[in-house]
Amino acid sequence: MWSGGPSNPNNNGPPKYDSDDDYILGVADAAVFYTAYLEHPLSTPRNNSHYTCTQRLSDLLNGHEMVIYNKIRMGSDCFRKLSWLLEQKNLLRSTRNMSVDEQLIIFLTIVCQNESNRETQHQWQHLGATISKYFMVVLNAIYRLRHDFIKPPDFNRIDPLIEASRSKYRHWFDNYVGALDGTHVPCVPPPENAEFTYMLAGREGSAHDARVLESTNETPEKKFHVPPTGKFYLVDSGYANTGCFLAPYRGCTYHLQEYRARRGRPRSERELFNYTHSSIRNCIEQAFGVWKARFCILKIINNYAMQKQTRIPIACAVIHDFIRMYQHDDSFINQYLQDGVPVSEIDPLNTDEDVNQNHNPNRSMEGPRNTASRREMGLMRDKIARTTWQAHGGNNNR
């Protein structure tokens, strides 16, 4: 073994390498690293845009009002109020990864635009797992607000719609407290199997409205608030005319577009009652149309877990009512809530208006029969129909 040279004197200690050896080892290490890099190059970050989530949010909140409105269906002021409320109630909190505003804007973008996880990752520069995590966090937070915003109406006052109508609806419908109906929201059932004042989500689309209504008293969580005696909800003919539910006459023209199509006035007291009934109850059809148009996620089948799917419609209803409460000049509402416009003209894809086949209903689906209650509601309906017909000229309309 070579052991000479001034930098490596011959001694009994461990061998020491000279500068040439150090250079050779350094080159060898670099060569090994370079070869490893060629075989396994460093991955390029997926979310590498300099336009961060915080910057995008700032631009939306401080930019033109219509930009954020088109994005999340509410203005910047309304957004800040909702964010503040969620933080004040300790339902959301800022984390190292995201502020409360960022969590909320991502959730609203997904439900209003029905964006996929991949699209949301690119837009807000966060990993897919982060997007999924905070979507569920915000969904649960808003779901917990349901009792604050989805509340029964004040049964002791005349409905503002009736109050504003003066002689058109007054006296005959003073005891009206709201309209009741069902609508379909697409969802994917698990492999082994499916301004709102009340909402029950999670029943399969094939369930008849009468059966769904019957199920509202199964648990305290589903409890439907029944108005005092004499007050009533307007329902379509898929429900029984009984209890606190006032249904139209069967076998007579009912929907507003049917009257428009034949270009004629109501020809009898029953038709006049149905026409008036449909004009008032159209508010629930319009509300469903606006609700689905505002939150595009409600129109498209998604693959979320079943619990998440059933909470999304309720969370969207909470946000809808929040907007109605805090954003008074809502151009979206003004665009859709036009007096007398049927839901088929507002939202052509929403065909729920005839889901119960009003002219040929399956009466076996109406639930248990209460003869006394039906007779009482039948007499009330006949009285309203008769007095309304007389007040509008009666025979002069024939």
pLDDT tens-digit map of 115-161:
888 888 888 888 888 888 999 999 999 999 988 998 888 888 888 87
pLDDT of res. 8: 46
Return the pLDDT at 119: 82
Averaged pLDDT for residues 22-32: 58
91: Cβ contacts below 8 Å, ≥ 6 apart = 141, 142, 144, 145
User: Do 362 and 252 fall into the same domain?
Assistant: yes
Most confident range (mean pLDDT) of 3-17, 41-55, 86-100, 333-347 is 86-100
Q: Is the same domain home to 129 and 253?
A: no
Q: What pLDDT, on a 0 to 100 scale, did the predictor assign at position 280?
A: 84
Residue 323: is its pLDDT beyond 70? yes
Q: Are residues 18 and 137 in the same domain?
A: no
Calpha distance 391→171 (Å, rounded)? 11
Q: Per-residue pLDDT for 272 more than 80?
A: yes
- Domain around 343: 155-305+327-397
Instruction: Report if residue 150 sits inside a domain.
Output: no
**For position 360, what pLDDT does the model report?**
41
Angle at which helices 100-113 and 128-143 cross, to 10°: 90
386 vs 180, higher pLDDT:
386
Top-confidence residue, 186 or 202: 186
**Residue 116 counted as domain residue:** yes
Rounded (5°) CA angle 164-169-175 = 95
Query: Backbone phi, then psi, for 52, in 5-degree steps?
Result: -80, 170
What is the rounded distance in angstroms from the CA atom of residue 126 to the CA atom of residue 57? 13
Query: Which tops the pLDDT comparison, 286 or 176?
Result: 176
Do 301 and 342 lie in one domain? The reply is yes
Domain count of the fold of the chain: 3
Q: Residue 195: what pLDDT?
A: 66
Distance CA 248, CA 228 (A): 21
pLDDT of residue 61: 92
Return the pLDDT at 292: 83
Residue 207 pLDDT grade (very low, low, confident, very high; cuts 50, 70, 90): low
Q: What are phi and psi of 343, to 5 degrees?
A: -65, -25
Q: How many CA atoms lie within 13 A of 344 on its CB side?
A: 9
Closest by Cα among 117, 109, 121, 119 to 70: 109
On whether both 107 and 135 belong to a single domain, the answer is yes
Residue 313: inside a domain, yes or no? Answer: no
**Same domain flag for 60 and 205:** no
Model confidence at 53: pLDDT above 70: yes
Task: Collect all residues with Cβ–Cβ distance below 8 Å to 158 and sequence separation of at least 6.
Answer: 174
CB 241 within 8 A of CB 357: no
Predicted local distance difference test score (pLDDT) of residue 22: 58
Residue 217 lies in a domain: yes
Do 197 and 268 lie in one domain? The reply is: yes
d(CA 3, CA 11): 9
| % the chain with pLDDT above 70 | 65
Pick the more confident residue, 113 or 185: 113
Task: Indicate if 31 and 125 belong to the same structural domain.
Answer: no
Based on the domain organization, do 222 and 353 belong to the same domain?
yes
More confident residue, 12 or 175: 175
- pLDDT, residue 84, reads 96
Query: Does 133 reside within a domain?
Result: yes
Do 184 and 281 share a structural domain? yes
In the block, residue with structure tokens 């960022």? 102
H-helix segments, the chain: 19-39, 53-62, 65-72, 76-88, 100-113, 117-124, 128-143, 146-149, 160-164, 209-214, 256-262, 269-294, 306-326, 331-336, 343-346, 371-391
**Residue 85 structure tokens:** 């409320």
